[in-house]
Amino acid sequence: MVSSRSICRFVGFSICLLVVLVQLPSNARADAVTTTRTQVSDEALEKALNDKRYLMRQLKCALGEVACDPVGKRLKSLAPFVLRGTCPQCTPSEMTQIKKTLAHLQRNFPAEWNKLVQTYAG
């Protein structure tokens, strides 16, 4: 059984995962870097969560199983910072999307979910 502390830490990782996953490759151009986060639409989140190949690539990158693309590299670089605390800068809408992402990972990628919890919350 996973402890509540582990889950809380993983929620931080999931915030990072959510933000990075929905920044689809077409939106990830280096010339579009800004200091503020772009609001993620529910449609964009659905598209990212339904793209199994893309999602698996990012999960495997986060687990160190495959080479990372630019999105995965950003995910891995942000994860340690996000894991240190909560997400006071997240909006209620983002928190709803994070919960949806967590549920999706637990339901559809249980093996990867367990590995992520062990890797980042252990």
pLDDT beyond 80 at 56: yes
Let me know: does 7 contact 118? Beta carbons within 8 Å: no
pLDDT category, 20, cuts 50, 70, 90?
A: low
Nearest to 39 by CA among 102, 80, 89: 89
Look at residue 81 and tell me if it is in a domain: yes
In this structure, what CATH number is given to the domain that contains residue 16?
A: 1.10.2080.10
Give the rounded percent of residues in the chain with a pLDDT score beyond 70: 57
Q: Mean of the pLDDT values across residues 92-103?
A: 80
Does a structural domain hold residue 34? Answer: no
Is the pTM higher than 0.75? The answer reads: no
94 inside domain = yes
Look at residue 35 and tell me if it is in a domain.
no
Number of domains in the chain: 1
Query: pLDDT confidence of 62, banded at 50, 70, 90?
Result: confident
pLDDT above 60 (res 4): no
The pLDDT, as a whole number, for residue 67 is: 95
| Domain assignment present for 69 | yes
| 61 lies in some domain | yes
**Owning domain of residue 103:** 4-28+40-121
What pLDDT does residue 34 have?
41
In a domain, residue 33? The reply is no
Q: Are 75 and 17 in contact (CB under 8 A)?
A: yes
- Which tops the pLDDT comparison, 48 or 87? 48
